[in-house]
Amino acid sequence: MSQATLERPASREQVEPRSGRRSTLGAKDRTFGFMIALPAVLLFLVIAIFPLVSSIGTSLYDQSLLRPERTFVGFENYAAVWDEFVARLGTTLVFASLSTLFPLVLGVALAMLLNARMRGRNILRGALMLPWLLPGVVVSFLWAWIFNDSYGVVNHVLATFGLPEVSMLGQPVGAMAAVVIAKTWHSFPWIMVVALAVLQTLPSEQIEAATIDGATRAQRFRYISLPHIAGPVTLVAVLEFIYNFGNFDTIFVMTGGGPGNSTTTLAVSLYHLAFGSYELGKASAMGALWLVLLAIISSGYLLLNRRLEK
pTM here is 0.81
How many residues can be counted in the chain?
A: 310
Residue 65 reports pLDDT greater than 60: yes
Residues 230-239: pLDDT tens digits? 888 888 988 8
Q: What is the pLDDT of residue 5?
A: 47
Report the share of the chain in percent with pLDDT over 70. 90
Ordered structural domains, the chain, with CATH: 68-309 (1.10.3720.10)
pLDDT single digits (tens) 20-51: 555 555 667 778 777 888 888 888 788 878 88
179 pLDDT more than 80: yes
Rounded-to-integer distance, Cα 207 and Cα 7, Å:
61
Residue from 100, 95, 102, 181 nearest 140 by CA? 181
Compute the distance between CA of residue 181 and CA of residue 65 in angstroms, rounded to an integer: 36
What is the radius of gyration, based on Cα positions, of the chain? 28
pLDDT band at 289 (very low <50, low <70, confident <90, very high): very high
Contact criterion met (CB below 8 Å) for 247 and 265: yes
CA–CA dist 56, 77 (Å, integer): 11
Dump pLDDT digits (tens) for 119-158: 777 888 888 888 988 999 999 999 999 999 888 888 888 8
In degrees, to the nearest 5, what angle opens at C-alpha 143 toward C-alphas 159 and 110? 100
| Amino acid 81: pLDDT | 92
